[in-house]
Amino acid sequence: MIKDSLTNHAQYDSLHPLFAKAFEYLSSADLADYDEGKYPIDGNDMYASVSEYVTKGEGQLEGHLEYIDIQYIIKGTEIIGYAPKSGQKESIPYSNEHDIAFYEGDYEPVTLNAGEFVILYPDDLHLPCLKNGKPSVVKKVVVKVRLTPSKSAK
């Protein structure tokens, strides 16, 4: 997992062939005005999901195999639970259709504020949308970046 401010995004562009394009999208779009929904960026290799919600008190760790998450807070503050996948117990098996599995286990809380992002690789389990003290409204965009992009996307 990587956590940083969007202003520092350029130092992560070389970590994946599509990261520069993902961060360009996050930096140039007026995301505060976006409605909730899914937005294509680069075919099936990269898309954004915008959501607005009230943070919660509990949930389950999740993990993905096909996509890397770049979770960026547009407004508000949330806690995201983080745990390495190694040694965690799967509670709901992996779904190919939704690229997700759920896990039981302990996690470290990581605070995300507006303007900050986390990069979550397949070995990074996460529990997003947790409240920071009391429930609050958060608007977030998750850019899903295919771990192995098609040749045309590189």
Evaluate if residue 152 carries a pLDDT over 70.
Answer: no
CATH H-level superfamily of 2-148: YhcH/YjgK/YiaL (2.60.120.370)
The verdict on pTM exceeding 0.85 is yes
Per-residue exposure over 81-113, b if at least 16 CB sit within 10 Å of its own CB, e if not = bbbebeebeeeeeeeeeebbbbbebebeebebe
Domain boundaries, the chain: 2-148
The lowest-confidence range among 19-28, 34-43, 106-115, 143-152 is 143-152
Contact 112, 136 (CB under 8 A): no
Report the C-alpha dihedral over residues 75, 3, 110, 134, rounded to 10 degrees.
0
Report the pLDDT value the prediction gives residue 153, as an integer from 0 to 100.
Answer: 55
